[in-house]
Amino acid sequence: MKLKIVKCDVMDGWYLIERAEHDGRVWVEMTGPNTSALRCSARFSDADVEGTPGEMLAIAEAIETHAEVSFRRCAVDARTEPVTFWSPRNSQTPGAVTYAEAASLAAEIRATLAQQTAAPPESSGAP
């Protein structure tokens, strides 16, 4: 399954890792007699894997070095295949992809964040 990084529409400086291809559905699923969960077809685990640009870059680094890293709302374990992703705060079930798919995501994270953080050239102050 191909994954992609998406800039959050409603929060500045916040990114999500999602399925590259999905139908956009959102629904409520009963998870117990008195509990329910919001589901989204973009998610590849049972919760959003999301975080700051620095956390996304750390996710990319962990994938590239076959390591594990964890933050409050995003984590990856790339020490073995499949590579697993989850939200430590919200996930019950991690999402899993092949190492090749995770490596492709790491490259996309780096490219996307390089574009987002590219600063305009500084002015020399000369007229």
> How does pLDDT run across 54-82, given as a tens digit for each residue?
999 999 999 999 999 999 999 999 999 99
Query: Across the chain, how many H-helices and E-strands are there?
Result: 2, 9
**Structure confidence by residue, pLDDT tens digits, 85-126:** 999 998 888 999 999 999 999 999 999 998 765 545 444 444
Predicted TM-score (pTM) of the model is 0.80
pLDDT given for residue 69 in this prediction: 98
Q: Are 56 and 42 in contact (CB under 8 A)?
A: no
